[in-house]
Amino acid sequence: MTLFTAEGMIRAQMRAHTKGLCHPPSVVCHAYLRWLLTQGMKPAFEMDRSSDGLLLGVRELYVQRAPGNTCLSALAAMTRIEGGAALNDSKGCGGVMRMAPVGLFDACKGQEFEYGRQFAALTHGHPTGYLAAGAFAFLIGELFRGTPLSEAIGKVIAELIRYEHHEETHIALRRALTLAEGGAPTPEKVESLGGGWVAEEALAIAVYCALTANSFDNGVLAAVNHSGDSDSTGSITGNLLGLIHGEAALPKSWLARLELREIVSRVAEDLVDSPNFRSVPDPSPGEPRGWHVYPGD
């Protein structure tokens, strides 16, 4: 869903360039519904399949890897392309862990929190579920612009507390900051922040592991060696530490075995380069980037 978040944002920008107007949450919603198709499910209405774009052509994405039930049920229940909050009370971490592309997207600059909040709310209707996602998108944006982690977290909290119902996420982040003052991470310390199954816990664990890490792999290993939702906390922590330490810090042995590395790299590069894409529908199928790869719908 992280890949489909990025694809949706690129397509939203293409739509804005070519048609002069765009509602990004609706375009990202359409991207999530395309993801739903890869999981063998359909929404409650007939989708327009005239412009599937890049990711639906990647057959490996059709393999099911324990998709979140909240995401599946919320998207399957839709009766049209939505732009509002899901009709559930879920604050699972699935909204947070797919929001990194928002902070990397130049067109979102200054609006990362709001877009992250809106995109997560498409599947997670509890305020904590989408506010934690907005906070994470904002944090990624600050790190992408070179803000030191501790300073960036302070800015995140200042932005977060402007929103109603921020208390759970605010308290979780404060606990992570306090715990980080106690030195190197241990599984017991990580688990004192919760299991990571819900949004504020997953974000707090990632922030704690990033603050106490002395390297990329050290922080990610701390984030996955606990008995909770370790794949989610590892993913979120890896997003943070990847920005802090850079691509050169990624262990080569991990990269060598990384599934779908080429498509992940391509979408990431396209996300950053998309302001330079052709802003008119491209009639040439040989053009590697442009409307026919990222149609604006």
Count of domains forming the chain: 1
Q: What six digits make up the tokens of 135?
A: 């906070």
pLDDT at residue 283, rounded to an integer: 47
pLDDT of the residue at 281: 53
Is residue 293 assigned to a domain?
A: no
Question: Is the distance from CB of 238 to CB of 206 less than 8 angstroms?
Answer: no
Residues 6+ apart with CB under 8 A from 116: 99, 102, 103, 130, 133, 134, 135, 136, 137, 138
Q: What is the pLDDT of residue 203?
A: 98
Tell me, yes or no, whether 247 lies in a domain: yes
pLDDT at position 279, please?
53
The candidate with the shortest Cα–Cα distance to 119, out of 91, 103, 98, 139, is: 98
CA separation (Å) from 255 to 143, 182, 251? Answer: 22, 32, 6
pLDDT of residue 74: 97
Confidence (pLDDT) at 284: 56
Residue 19 confidence (pLDDT): 82
- Confidence (pTM): 0.95
pLDDT at 275: 79
**Positions in the chain whose pLDDT score sits under 50:** 283
108-167 confidence digits (pLDDT tens): 889 999 999 999 999 999 999 999 999 999 999 999 999 999 999 999 999 999 999 999
pLDDT digits (tens, 9 = 90+) for 262-284: 999 999 999 988 877 755 555 45
Q: Classify 180 as helix, strand or coil.
A: helix
Tell me the CATH number at 12. 1.10.4080.10
**Is 14 within the bounds of a domain?**
yes
Range of the domain at 75: 2-84+92-274
Phi, psi of 92 (to 5 degrees): -60, 165
64 is a domain residue: yes
| Residue 295 within a domain | no
Q: How far is CA 35 from CA 1, 56, 76, in A?
A: 7, 8, 11
Domain-embedded: residue 282: no
In a domain, 290, yes or no: no
* Position 296 in a domain: no
State the pLDDT at residue 278.
59
The per-residue pLDDT for 282 is 52
